[in-house]
Structure 1
Amino acid sequence: MGPMIPEDPGIYFYNLHPIYKVDVLGTVVYKRERDDFFCYGVDDGTGVINCLCWKNDLMKEEADPDKSGGKLSDGAQGGFNPVAELKKLKQAQQSRCRLEIGELLRVRGPVKTSRQQREIMASTYYKVNDPVMAFQIAWMMEVPQLYRQCYDKPLQLQPNATSDSAVSSLCKATNIIKDFFKQRSVTRFRPYDVQDLLQPLISSQPQTASADQEPVAGPSACQQLRQLLKEALQILQDDGMVYRKVKSQDEVYYVTAQDKDLLIAVKDIIREDSKREKYAEKGCHILHILSAVRQHYSLNVSKAALELVLKSLECNSDIVSTSDNHYTVF
């Protein structure tokens, strides 16, 4: 977990990086069980933290052995028995969520403070079966890289556009378009839908020619506006925030985070392919998912756009990341 300084309720800071949710892998060192939740003490090597893991409805239900008794199971003669399969599902769920001291737990969720102690309110948690410590070794190699590349570096905040003239017009343009997406909940748009939003950036540019000089030949204001818009849209595409489902003369851009069809397509691919023996253990690699999305949904989905979709699905607990860019359903 590392040293985190509390500031606002629910927000912590590590080297000025705001921390709201965490992802922890550690050993269970103590446990308590209540009717509605488990409380596990998890040691990840840097300390012990309480993890409040709520039970779902399936965990709360008590299996009734009389309902899955002999006659129904025997009568199936190897056929599909929904009662028996439900019992197996309950048992599998319980085995993944009921951990004993010494077992390995992965837990993800927001950090809260209760009775002056930090604890994780788990949004996702499960037991990790790692007999040869392969998962723990991969985790120990991945986490230091995250710290070196991100958390141990000073947080670089963008300067205030109203007080610092160093912010480029291109940066302002991309921010204006992003704000437009958020305010209007835009799912798709065409360039002329956002072009007028950038007009003030062209109008506010200083004139290079003085009053007693001849005007210098150069691009017109309209040409500058179109060029600025083109470059801003290219940046948004490179970041994966927008993409073109079909490249045609009619330029239609889709906002990645708002494209429900794309989110459903990615989720369905992961759910179906995770059933295959090849991906049953580690899940689907991001490049496999990208290839499947391009084959079944759109050739123009970039890896950056897919990463945003995967992040959104993971935040909603629709999928779970394992390691090395692998994803599976929970």
Structure 2
Amino acid sequence: MDPILSVHVKLLAVDLLSLRIQPSDPPTFTHNSRPVSRAETLGVVVSRERKDKFLKFLVDDGTGCIPCILWLNHHMFASRFHPIDLELKMQMALEYAEKIQLGILVSVRGRFTAYRGIIQITVADVVVERDPNMELFHWMDSIRLSRQYNDANKKLPPQSIPTLDSGKNPVQFDLKK
């Protein structure tokens, strides 16, 4: 199992919107051909729609808008959780819903889901950021981690790696010039 599957990957909206959905039950998502299931993103809340069962909102990080959904009716998960845990989850969801207001900077963590073919984040955690520099730090972290990840995945083909056992000099100089 790929270790990146079980961590919250820091993604920008442009990365999230380029995820590929693999048809399965439940659907799986891939980023650069590796499976991912969770994300962390940060941006400004630009849209907010509250219903009885959920709060739907958009987070704009400067590269695009990320659809997020926060479920408020946790009774549908009653069979999976202890009643005390369920009550705490419901209280936390209501607190998060009150925190999420238009124009504020939020950090959102959750898992990927798809609704009518659109990828969204089902929210597990929301933090209101008071420091506007956090958006820049998130950008820098996302880019740095993406570069590290991409550099780690670049592999040279076996025939292009020089070895001393091959009898050929790995470095050749043209001294006749």
Residue in structure 2 matching 1:42, options 52, 59, 70: 59
C-alpha distance after superposition, 1:298-326 (max 9, x if no partner): xxxxxxxxxxxxxxxxxxxxxxxxxxxxx
Counterpart residue number, 1:8: 23
Q: CA RMSD of the aligned region, Å?
A: 2.5
Q: TM-score scaled to structure 1, two decimals?
A: 0.33
Counterpart residue number, 1:57: 90
Counterpart residue number, 1:235: none
> By how many angstroms is 1:97 displaced?
4.1
- SS of the residue aligned with 1:143? helix
The question of whether the paired residues in 1 share the 8 Å contact of 2:71 and 2:93 is answered with: no
The question of whether the paired residues in 1 share the 8 Å contact of 2:106 and 2:126 is answered with: yes
Distance 1:115 1:23 in 2: 22
Q: Which structure is higher in RCO with an 8 Å CA cutoff and minimum separation 6?
A: 2
Residue in structure 2 matching 1:26, options 31, 43, 64: 43
> By how many angstroms is 1:135 displaced?
1.5
Distance 1:41 1:14, change over 3 A: same
Distance 1:105 1:122, change over 3 A: same
Counterpart residue number, 1:138: 137
Q: TM-score scaled to structure 2, two decimals?
A: 0.59
The AA in structure 1 aligned to 2:106 is L
C-alpha distance after superposition, 1:51-99 (max 9, x if no partner): 11134433688xxxxxxxxxxxxxxxxxxxxxxxxxxxxxxx46x8432
- SS of the residue aligned with 2:153? coil
Larger Rg: 1
Counterpart residue number, 1:154: 153
Distance 2:44 2:151 in 1: 25
Distance 2:54 2:154 in 1: 36
Identical positions, percent: 25
Counterpart residue number, 1:123: 124
Distance 1:148 1:97, change over 3 A: farther
Unaligned 5+ runs, structure 2: 1-12, 73-88, 156-177
Distance 1:152 1:50, change over 3 A: farther
Distance 2:53 2:129 in 1: 22
Equivalent residue pairs, number: 122
Counterpart residue number, 2:100: 99
Counterpart residue number, 1:223: none
The AA in structure 1 aligned to 2:100 is L
Distance 2:92 2:36 in 1: 30
Distance 1:141 1:60 in 2: 29
> By how many angstroms is 1:46 displaced?
2.4
Which protein is richer in helix relative to its size?
1
- SS of the residue aligned with 1:122? strand
Unaligned 5+ runs, structure 1: 62-92, 157-330
Distance 1:122 1:106 in 2: 10
> By how many angstroms is 1:111 displaced?
0.9
- SS of the residue aligned with 2:148? helix
Counterpart residue number, 2:82: none
Distance 2:46 2:117 in 1: 20
Counterpart residue number, 1:190: none
The question of whether the paired residues in 2 share the 8 Å contact of 1:35 and 1:60 is answered with: no
- SS of the residue aligned with 1:123? strand
Distance 2:37 2:112 in 1: 6
Which protein is richer in strand relative to its size?
2
C-alpha distance after superposition, 1:185-224 (max 9, x if no partner): xxxxxxxxxxxxxxxxxxxxxxxxxxxxxxxxxxxxxxxx
Distance 1:136 1:115 in 2: 30
